[in-house]
Amino acid sequence: MKVMDAIKKRRSIRRYEAREVEEEKIRLLLEAARLAPSARNLQPWKFVVVKDRGKIEKLSRACCNQEWIKTAPLIIVGCGLRKHTFRNGYPSNAVDLAIALEHIVLEAVELGLGTCWIEAFYPDEVRKILGIPEDIDVSGILTVGYPAESPEPRERKSLEEIMCREGWC
């Protein structure tokens, strides 16, 4: 599959089949993340893979009580290592981690899996559930599984609406 095809095919999936994601596919998803670029090649990330139903239920509550999250057979929590921050204070790990998580999303499309980015969550609660240390940023959460829905494409702005040339427009 071409990258642009995967980008166009990707949807935010909020209903999943009740079947496990195979270990080989989980490894391929994490391999895609491992190969993502990062500032100064620091690779400032770790990924917590969650399949335990009890933990997934707790995570759904930590994600602002989004009940649909409970249908996901797999959750991947992206964690940023704070020690990798630029001298100007800019936390490069957040951007680097977003790139790595999106690599997972696109590989999931290739593997016939669906995903959904979760950005509404309480990081301290997620840390507590998964035993993540205080000095680690919980930067993003993905639900992953076999889609039980096929959402229609959502409307997108035109290139002219989002692109400026040679300066702000």
**DSSP string of 71-121, one letter each residue:** G-SEEEEEEEETT---TTS--HHHHHHHHHHHHHHHHHHHTT-EEEEE---
Q: Using CA atoms, how far apart are residues 37 and 144, in angstroms rounded to an integer?
A: 22
Class of domain 14-149: alpha beta
SS3 content of the chain, % helix, strand, coil (to 5): 40, 20, 40
Residue 70, Cα to own-chain centre: how many angstroms?
A: 16
Per domain, the residue ranges of the chain are 14-149
What the block records as the tokens of 60 is 């759904």
Q: Using CA atoms, how far apart are residues 56 and 18, in angstroms rounded to an integer?
A: 13
Question: How many Cβ atoms sit within 10 Å of the Cβ of residue 46?
Answer: 13
pLDDT for the residue 94: 87
8 Å CB contact between 34 and 106: no
Name 80's Cβ contacts closer than 8 Å, sequence gap at least 6: 44, 45, 91, 93, 94, 96, 97, 136, 137, 139
One digit per residue, pLDDT tens: the chain, 169 residues?
A: 999 999 999 999 999 999 999 999 999 999 999 999 998 899 999 999 999 999 999 999 999 999 999 999 999 999 998 876 666 666 678 899 999 999 999 999 999 999 999 999 999 999 999 999 999 999 999 999 999 999 998 999 999 999 999 999 9
Instruction: Give the full edge-to-edge strand order of the sheet including 74-81.
Output: 45-50, 74-81, 136-145, 114-118
